[in-house]
Amino acid sequence: MTDVLARLRALQEGDLPTHGGSTLAYVYDSGLAEADEIGRAALAQYGATNGLDPTVFPSLRTLENDLVGWAARLLNGPTAVGTVTSGGTESVLLAVQAARDGGRAAAPRSVASPNMVIPATAHAAFHKAAHYFGVRAIVVDVDPVTFTPDPADMAAAIDDNTVLVVASAPSYAHGVVDPVREIAAVAADRGIRCHVDACIGGWILPYLRRDGVAVPDFGFAVPGVTSISVDLHKYAYTPKGASILLHRDAAFRRAQFFASAAWPGYTMLNSTMQSTKSGAPLAAAWAVIHHIGDEGYQRLARVAYDATQDLAKRADDIDGLTLLTTPATTLVALRTNARADVFTLADEMATRGWFVQPQLSFRDQPPSLHLTVSAATAQRLDALTEALTTATQAAQASGPVQVSPDLAAAATALDPSTLDEAAFDGLLTIAGLGDTAATGTLPTRMAPVNALLDVAPPALREALLIAFLDRLMRPA
Ligand SMILES: *Cc1c(COP(=O)(O)O)cnc(C)c1O
């Protein structure tokens, strides 16, 4: 037994650290060792339970209703109901599916070719929902300075087939809160649902407000908001696999549920996309949330927020780095000037033990760096500032990665739908990912890969990355 666990530990040595505050995306560290310990214990205790049927494991029903009630209080929804899901993406998928199939509460209607109006900054999960459920995404551009959409533009994009309007609180890429009140009003005016994607902000904005930070309205107190997603495995600092989708009232949730008696086995009755589902993430979330408690979250929110504002100021003061916008919560977006590129900077940060996340150019916006700040990072701000400073200097010394103009022109001209597997093999080799596809070992420097992806149009980026994944994920 110890042998296989030792092998797991050895394998994990190649992973990013999940704790210690140096991984500024993907993971969220409260810095509270006891909370982590409790989460792990609850995961183990509930690993074999099945949330398929809440009457067979009644404790899961108790835990879920308790957490949904907590979230509903936090987000001012006295009549709200909800569901614990496996993550933000599942919450978003179900919000879109419920809007497609449920229409606006009192008047369910079936729309032949449904669409949803989303800001360009909405999370990619909405595009996944569009892809899965045939709900076309109508994308509204955002202001180049505030990175939020004009509610009038959202209104103008709505048509008779619109089933959902979306706002973020905040957006992942820029960390700003959309004008939720105005967007929800536009939706309500047309009798359309409005989803607020608070996956990353929903557990932190309310606590910041309690602590005196000026936070714009985004919850159910805003008329017209019909559903909200809030991830527990982000700023509730719970183990992965837990998010909540709230609906304003039970009528809005009904179309999300699925039952099937169309087979000879047990009648299937599901609240989520999964059927058999582990009770472990739910139990762990419940344990961690009750352990940390409202006061604990208020303190953690303040610590992460103050660290973010401090980091944003310090980063903006570094020669060659610019803050895109003042962070509304705990997300920082940075840009380099022409003397360096963000991709080289990310590599330089990695060699210094810090993971920061490159964001490719999009529409009119140049590439940027994303930093998700959690409470554990607050204790390491001096080291982080020092790393950003020296990494920026190093990135300037080597200069931006140059993509040959011929290659850039070829990338722009390629139609991914015409490429065969051999062509993808060739392109992956050009991109520097050929070896990785074959052996699974990533290049030590990702900047050349990212720089090439950056000059490719989004459709080619997607096709290349899918070809890459296809080669990566094969048994040895
Ligand atoms: C993280 C996030 C999501 C998706 O959540 P996952 O848990 O990664 O599936 C959706 N929207 C926003 C704003 C997010 O930050």
**pLDDT tens, 272-311?**
999 999 999 999 999 999 999 999 999 999 999 999 999 9
**pLDDT tens, 387-444?**
999 999 999 999 999 998 988 888 888 899 999 999 999 888 888 888 887 787 778 8
Say which CATH architecture domain 33-288 belongs to.
Answer: 3-Layer(aba) Sandwich (3.40)
CA distance 132 to 101: 14
Give the pLDDT confidence score for residue 432 in this predicted structure: 84
How many other C-beta atoms can be found within 10 angstroms of the C-beta atom of residue 291? 17
More confident residue, 176 or 444: 176
The dihedral built from the CA positions of residue 182, 148, 356 and 469, taken in this order, carries a sign that is: positive
Total residue count of the chain as it appears in this document: 476
* pLDDT higher than threshold 70 for residue 107: no
Give the pLDDT confidence score for residue 276 in this predicted structure: 96
CA distance 170 to 173: 9
* pLDDT higher than threshold 60 for residue 447: yes
Cβ(140)–Cβ(157) below 8 Å: yes
| Most informative mutation of 231, 238, 372 for ligand 1 (most atoms within 8 A of CB) | 231
Give the pLDDT confidence score for residue 108 in this predicted structure: 56
Q: Compute, in angstroms, the gap from residue 5 CA to the centroid of ligand 1.
A: 30
Residue 231, C-beta contacts closer than 8 angstroms, at least 6 positions apart: 87, 88, 91, 199, 200, 202, 203, 242, 243, 244
Give the pLDDT confidence score for residue 434 in this predicted structure: 83
* Ligand 1 atom nearest to CA at 168: 13
Give the pLDDT confidence score for residue 45 in this predicted structure: 98
Give the pLDDT confidence score for residue 438 in this predicted structure: 76
**pLDDT tens, 199-210?**
999 999 999 999
Confidence of residue 106 (pLDDT cuts 50, 70, 90): very low
Give the pLDDT confidence score for residue 410 in this predicted structure: 86
Give the pLDDT confidence score for residue 286 in this predicted structure: 98
Tell me whether strands 321-323 and 331-336 are parallel, antiparallel or unpaired: antiparallel
Residue range(s) in the chain whose domain bears CATH number 3.40.640.10: 33-288
* pLDDT higher than threshold 80 for residue 24: yes
Q: Compute, in angstroms, the gap from residue 231 CA to the centroid of ligand 1.
A: 7
What residues line ligand 1, using a CB cutoff of 6 Å?
Answer: 87-89, 92, 123, 125, 168, 172, 197, 199-200, 231, 243
Nearest CA to ligand 1 atom 8: 88
- Looking at the chain, the whole-number percentage of residues with pLDDT higher than 90 is 88
Q: Compute, in angstroms, the gap from residue 429 CA to the centroid of ligand 1.
A: 31
Give the pLDDT confidence score for residue 2 in this predicted structure: 76
Confidence of residue 1 (pLDDT cuts 50, 70, 90): low
